[in-house]
């Protein structure tokens, strides 16, 4: 098995979104907590490697012989913990993720999705106890956590850019809209 040319995080997330990357039925469910997702993004922003992935290229003629699942885009601790079955139409090949599902799902959720876990003391039967949150980066301050460099947090804000108590937060997924960063 040969190593492939590295791709960008944006390319990986786009391939998940377009269902080029899918999960085989042998994969466990997504189990990462927000803190783990934040640590992954902190590692990326710091320039640390996040490891390699193991892919299985499934030819179009064979993809109906196996069960595949989509990546979760809107994780919900109570209502959406299970990956939905992938409806793979068309003639194209797919790439099944054999190793790296937790990291790729975390990237997908942090950049294109939401994470809803129960608020502290929230009633399990109340929808209000599970607000959808997106990942934000504080542009004005570094993390106060000695293990992290960047101040990242999941927030319920709806705006791409939020100013609060002297801090300046930007939704991390907004980076996908950048097309030209200049020289």
pLDDT range class, residue 105, cuts 50, 70, 90: very high
Between 87 and 75, where is the model more confident? 75
| Mean per-residue pLDDT, 172-179 | 86
Relative to beta strand 94-99, strand 21-24 is: parallel
Relative to beta strand 21-24, strand 134-142 is: unpaired
pTM beyond 0.85: yes
CA neighbor of 42 nearest in space, from 113, 108, 110: 110
Decide if pLDDT at 101 tops 60: yes
Mean pLDDT for the chain overall: 92
| Greatest mean pLDDT among 33-37, 78-82, 165-169 | 33-37
Task: Report in angstroms the alpha-carbon separations of 35 from 30, 52, 154, 157.
Answer: 14, 21, 9, 18
Q: What 8-state DSSP symbol labels residue 27?
A: S
């Amino acid at each position: 098995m040969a190593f492939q040319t590295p791709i960008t995080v944006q390319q990986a997330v786009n391939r998940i979104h377009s269902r080029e990357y899918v999960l085989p039925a042998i994969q466990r469910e997504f189990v990462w907590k927000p803190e783990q997702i934040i640590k992954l993004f902190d590692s990326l922003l710091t320039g640390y490697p996040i490891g390699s992935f193991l892919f299985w290229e499934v030819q179009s003629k064979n993809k109906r012989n196996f069960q595949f699942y989509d990546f979760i885009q809107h994780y919900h601790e109570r209502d959406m913990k299970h990956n939905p079955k992938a409806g793979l139409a068309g003639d194209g090949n797919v790439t099944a993720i054999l190793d790296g599902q937790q990291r790729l799902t975390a990237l997908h959720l942090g950049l294109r999705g939401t994470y809803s876990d129960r608020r502290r003391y929230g009633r399990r039967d109340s929808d209000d106890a599970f607000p959808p949150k997106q990942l934000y980066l504080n542009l004005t301050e570094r993390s106060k956590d000695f293990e992290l460099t960047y101040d990242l947090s999941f927030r319920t804000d709806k705006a791409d850019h939020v100013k609060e108590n002297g801090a300046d937060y930007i939704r991390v997924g907004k980076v996908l809209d950048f097309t030209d960063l200049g020289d």
